[in-house]
């Protein structure tokens, strides 16, 4: 097996050496710009039923047949819990500076609060120490979709204000336990995705929506969950700033997903529709963090269904990010559209997503039906954050493209389409930094072909292939491409 790995590596290296070239390098970006890769605990760790970990809402959600196309679960996934050294070693070979990973709340506190699980705590000690020993900087996310199931059972999770102090206590424990070595913290990954898909259409755990098997109200619950996610984020930031930042000298922020929404036509109606789409997605969370209140557009169209901040909450939320992570993959056209059939978060936009203009697709489609290759949208997204939200310090927390999960060795390693995607998108990111956007890092999604939520293992975003029978890791061509970008400065 080791011989096969060596032969594959050498053949791929030769292929890349005689193939595409790029004018990108570390020198293309601002001084001290960070290149890294990303994952989340639930998608890579496995061992969901072992080592004292308690169940999270996704464990319960995936018990229903058909939740994923291949009926896969994350009970084992790619077993990073045992193989983290292999994964960090691959990061070193590529030339990455950092790894963005998340901590499993239910692995630390199986009951959500109370007594901690020593096995789980020690795992993250080992991971962080091995990263630092190999000069890989940890960027730690406290929450990536995986609420402890016990808290969902006790008080409906993010629908209850009780979740705010519980999350704050979890965050406090992590700051105290790992903050001597971790200097880059993110509270929550993609709160909009959890609020809209977990409580608006039932596509994500805990699977609530109007008419869903778990109950719900698509007109109110997304906004309630989103409100508590914001308050939990702000509470954790306050704890870090009050108790730890002076001694630990770190930064803390939040990760927000942001599709760029381009008007289908340049009519006033479609321009306003695109504006609403941006406000109901990025603006839902970025506007309060910047200005202390929800966007006026949301207030107008949601009305009394949108929770209000108290004066104290407004002060707590405003300014609650030293750095903002933007997760960006794709771009859509938007046209004005009013759906009056029922009231819901999705219909409140009064906008319809469109994927072609005059019969021409907005971009080449990836394996996932939602993902189109539209590099110019990346530039517009980053510049929008710069211009509308006072040019915050940013990282690109996720960016990547998938291939079919049916691809096998050695074909799965030949991912020139992914190289093209990264090359085009990074050129647009360079253009945005040249135009004044304060972006300090870029994290490719993802390191490994891992468990992709509702897609199971039918979708592969990794730059490293994982044989799920042996868990052997095989770097793809895209890893060598990243190495070529990083080596010029890294080798000096």
Active-site residues, by number, are 190, 398
Contact call for residues 288 and 230 (beta carbons, < 8 A): yes
Q: Nearest CA to 387 among 432, 445, 444?
A: 432
Which alpha helices (H) appear in 214-264, and where do they start and end? Answer: 221-239, 245-248
Cβ neighbours of residue 150 closer than 8 Å, sequence gap 6 or more: 54, 55, 106, 110, 111, 112
How many residues are there in the chain?
492
Q: Nearest CA to 477 among 424, 428, 420, 430?
A: 420
Q: What is the distance between the alpha carbons of residues 191 and 141, in angstroms, rounded to a whole number?
A: 12
Q: What is the distance between the alpha carbons of residues 257 and 344, in angstroms, rounded to a whole number?
A: 20
Alpha-carbon distances of 392 from 191, 323, 327, 383, rounded to whole Å: 19, 7, 15, 11
Q: Nearest CA to 55 among 140, 126, 139, 157?
A: 157
Residue 364 forms beta bridges with which residues?
A: 373
Q: What is the distance between the alpha carbons of residues 230 and 403, in angstroms, rounded to a whole number?
A: 33
Q: Nearest CA to 372 among 363, 380, 381?
A: 363
Report how many helices (DSSP H) and strands (DSSP E) the chain contains, helices first: 19, 19
Contact call for residues 371 and 398 (beta carbons, < 8 A): no
Q: What is the distance between the alpha carbons of residues 7 and 13, in angstroms, rounded to a whole number?
A: 10
């Amino acid at each position: 097996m080791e011989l096969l790995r060596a032969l594959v590596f050498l053949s791929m290296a030769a292929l890349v050496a005689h193939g595409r070239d790029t004018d990108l390098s570390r020198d293309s970006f601002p001084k001290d710009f960070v290149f890294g890769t990303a994952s989340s605990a639930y998608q890579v760790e496995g061992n969901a039923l072992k080592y004292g970990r308690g169940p999270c809402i996704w464990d319960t959600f995936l018990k229903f047949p058909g939740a994923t196309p291949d009926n896969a679960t994350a009970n084992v996934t790619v077993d990073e819990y045992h193989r983290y050294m292999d994964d960090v070693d691959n990061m070193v070979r590529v030339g990455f500076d950092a790894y963005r990973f998340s901590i499993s709340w239910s692995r630390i506190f199986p009951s959500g609060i109370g007594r901690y699980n020593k096995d789980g705590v020690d795992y993250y000690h080992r991971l962080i120490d091995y990263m630092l020993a190999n000069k890989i900087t940890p960027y730690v996310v406290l929450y990536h979709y995986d609420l402890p199931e016990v808290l969902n059972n006790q008080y409906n999770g993010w629908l209850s204000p009780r979740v705010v102090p519980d999350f704050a206590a979890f965050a406090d424990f992590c700051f105290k336990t790992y903050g001597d070595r971790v200097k880059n913290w993110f509270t929550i990954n993609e709160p909009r995705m959890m609020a809209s898909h977990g409580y608006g259409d039932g596509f994500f755990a805990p699977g609530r929506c109007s008419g869903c098997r778990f109950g719900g109200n698509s007109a109110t619950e997304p906004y309630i969950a989103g409100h508590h996610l914001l308050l939990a984020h702000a509470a954790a930031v306050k704890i870090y700033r009050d108790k730890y930042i002076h001694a630990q000298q770190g930064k803390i922020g939040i990760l927000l997903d942001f599709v760029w929404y381009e008007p289908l036509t340049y009519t006033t109606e479609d321009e306003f529709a695109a504006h609403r789409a941006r406000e109901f997605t990025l603006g839902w969370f970025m506007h309060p963090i910047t200005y202390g209140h929800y966007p006026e557009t949301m207030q107008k169209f949601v009305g009394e269904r949108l929770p209000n901040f108290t004066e104290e909450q407004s002060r707590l939320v405003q300014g609650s990010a030293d750095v903002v992570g933007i997760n960006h993959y794709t771009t859509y056209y938007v046209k004005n559209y009013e759906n009056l059939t029922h009231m819901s978060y999705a219909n409140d936009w009064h906008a319809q997503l469109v994927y072609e203009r005059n019969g021409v697709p907005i971009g080449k489609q990836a394996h996932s039906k939602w993902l189109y290759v539209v590099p110019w949208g990346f530039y517009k997204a980053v510049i929008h954050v710069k211009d509308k939200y006072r040019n915050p310090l940013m990282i690109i927390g996720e960016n990547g493209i998938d291939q079919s999960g049916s691809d096998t060795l050695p074909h799965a390693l030949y991912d020139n389409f992914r190289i093209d995607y990264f090359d085009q998108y990074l050129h647009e990111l360079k253009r945005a930094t040249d135009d004044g956007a304060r972006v300090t890092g870029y994290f490719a999604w993802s390191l490994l072909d891992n468990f992709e939520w509702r897609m199971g293992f039918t979708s592969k975003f990794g730059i490293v292939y994982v044989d799920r029978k042996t868990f052997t890791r095989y770097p793809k061509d895209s890893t060598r491409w990243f190495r070529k970008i990083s080596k010029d400065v890294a080798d000096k």
